[in-house]
Amino acid sequence: MSQSISKLVDNLPTNSMTVYMLRSLDFIVPGEWQNVVGFENTIRAVTGITDKHLIQDIGERAIALYNNPSEVYQQTLWLYQTVDRADSAIGAAALANKIGEKISFLGFLNQLTPKADTVQTIDLCLKLVVEAIAFCRLHGMPTNIDAFRASLANYHNESVIRMAALIAVDGLIPLGPNFILKAQSVLGQLNTAQLEGNPTFQNISSAIPGGTTAGKLGFINENFASVKGWMNNFVTSRNLTPEKIVVHLQQFMNVADSKLDYVAAFLDMSTNYYEHTGTQTVARNLILRAAQETKGKVKDKEKKKKDKDKDKDKKKRKD
């Protein structure tokens, strides 16, 4: 069985390249994300509950729900982890490709690695697909692109910083200010063989709706088309540019090179923000459900106790 959700949340780093990067992006969604680490701390932060016994009951219920293979939580977290873990390979491939373009002696690398824009676009789009699938699973519905798009307006906490990071470090920095148009253009030319050759797609393909690879590519296109308006509004309403993001990154991280393709590759190889915030999102959803169920049991117990006390009073009156 996979590691317990309590251990996964306890083991989240308080300081890491990922945490520094996310903190540097706070200017995009001010005050939304606090890096809450530790399972008990998360229960307190999510529910506002301070009673030790109730926190313990909620924790035990959340762990039981996570460990139940018929529930969606383990598979959902696996998606967040898997879509992030190929990033180091993507970063290396993109960097090798850029070196190949700039240094003629290494030109053969162009033939061995995918085009940077293609691989970055697939990465961006697969992360959006995982987000759609995860959102729908955690809210107890089949994957529904319209429901996912509508939900984005209500994203908060770790979910909204994850989307801010997606747009900033998987969109604007590697693909430029017109990343939506560029990604759309790449998607339009993408064929099933290119998609099947992508290691991230290979890993998560079974979770993507569509049946065949062509059907799954259609779903990826449809999902991207559905959220591009929201992404465009997110960028324009905050006046985001690649340069502005790098300036903020430089306040927290040693990003000396202002060449954006190198920065993108460095971030890919040194951070795992989808897994980090995805763990926090799954934990939040688990805890909220566990709290609801636990409070329900507490209320039932209180009601039964009151009913018993009433019955005793009635008996006493009769006697």
186: left (phi over 0), alpha (psi -120 to 50) or beta: alpha
Is the residue at 153 inside a domain? yes
Q: How far is CA 229 from the centre of its chain?
A: 20
Question: What are the distances in angstroms from CA 28 to CA 10, 52, 161, 235?
Answer: 27, 36, 8, 9
Range of the domain at 212: 5-97+105-299
Per the CB < 8 A criterion, the answer to whether 198 and 127 are in contact is no
Place of tokens 């006493």: 316
Q: Considering the domain boundaries, does residue 28 fall inside one? A: yes
Is the Cβ–Cβ distance between 232 and 157 less than 8 Å? no
pLDDT, tens digit, 9 for 90 and up, residues 48-95: 999 999 999 999 999 999 999 999 999 999 999 999 876 566 666 666
Q: Which two tokens stand for residue 239?
A: 């006046």
Q: Which two tokens stand for residue 142?
A: 């089949």
CA distance to 153, 202, 209, 220, 289, per residue, from 35 (Å)? 22, 31, 32, 30, 21
Contact in structure between 28 and 237 (CB atoms under 8 Å): no
Rounded to whole angstroms, the Cα distance separating 94 from 52 reads 49
Which pair of tokens denotes residue 227? 């959220």
The verdict on residue 316 lying in a domain is no
* Structural tokens at position 296: 């329900």
Number of domains in the chain: 1
Determine, yes or no, domain membership for 31: yes
pLDDT at site 252: 78
Q: Tell me if 310 is assigned to some domain.
A: no
**E runs forming strands in the chain:** none
Calpha distance 220→195 (Å, rounded): 10
CA distance 240 to 249: 13
Q: Which amino acid is at 35?
A: N
Question: How far, in Å, CA of 165 to CA of 179, rounded?
Answer: 14
Q: Give the chain's end-to-end CA distance (angstroms, integer).
A: 58
In a domain, 252, yes or no: yes
What lies within 8 Å, CB to CB, of 107 at 6+ separation is 100
Residue 251 confidence (pLDDT): 82
Contact 265, 91 (CB under 8 A): yes
The answer to whether position 287 is within a domain reads yes
Residue 306 lies in a domain: no
Low-confidence ranges of the chain (pLDDT < 70): 1, 86-115, 253-258, 296-319
What is the chain's length?
A: 319
DSSP class per residue in 70-107:
TSSHHHHHHHHHHHHHTHHHHHHHHHHHHHHHH-GGGT
CA dist 264 → 5, 91, 310 (Å): 30, 7, 68
Closest of 263, 216, 215, 294 to residue 91, by C-alpha: 263
Closest CA to 267 of 169, 159, 144, 124: 169
Helical packing angle, 17-24 and 273-318, nearest 10°:
90
pLDDT given at position 105:
46
What does the pLDDT read at residue 258?
Answer: 60
